Amino acid sequence: MKWIEIIENEQQKEYYKKLKLIIDERYQKTEVYPPKEKIFNAFSLCKYENLKVVILGQDPYHQKGQAQGLAFSTPADIKNPPSMVNILKEIVDDIGSSQCLDGDLTLLAKQGVLLINTVLTVEDSLPNSHKNIGWEIFTDNIIKHISDNLEGIVFLLWGSPALKKSKLINGTKHHILSSPHPSPLSSYRGFFGCKHFSKTNEILKNRGKSEIIW
């Protein structure tokens, strides 16, 4: 199985055909992120057969040049947004160092970390602007597929919207680690100190899988 097969199967469904019409129109009429060719970047970089970890975000960064189709990640040459700053702080506090201090999480994706948002596109300066147009159905179906067809995946659910997805995941087959969101509004309520990165590696190690170089 490959992501392209799963995605193409979703694209045949009525909800996705309606979603595509909306998305195509908005890309034509306004500034939408990430660039259209990077909407499925998370799936391109994290191979299906390598999948170990799923990190779920809300929707892409909504300022120009930030979104690159990987949840929380930004290009290396721009300033890290606040949530990314807090994620990196927790990684360093948890395991002592990070290979992604520039904010580009491509290295994680290539090691088997699927970095997806519940909504895959957003309009300039308008967070949640593509909420409830169909992306949630798509990403819910991706999560369900992973839960039903794979085993031992570590799901990191940060914040209330992500935590709601736990109902889609078979907790007897997989591992769910949850905490408040890493944004400055909630990070001090339990994201800092959650130690999700060392805990994830401990789970992977116990399952005989290679650990993630965070």
The verdict on whether 77 is a catalytic residue reads no
Distances from the Cα of 91 to the Cα of 58, 62, 79, 210, angstroms = 20, 24, 18, 18
For tokens 């090691």, name the residue: 111
Contact criterion met (CB below 8 Å) for 53 and 201: no
Structure tokens at 116: 């997806």
Residue of 142, 147, 121 lying closest to 34 (CA atoms): 121
Contact criterion met (CB below 8 Å) for 133 and 20: no
Rounded CA-CA distance 204/199 in Å is: 9
- Which one of 24, 59, 102, 148 is the catalytic residue? 59
Structure tokens at 42: 């998370």
Active site members: 59
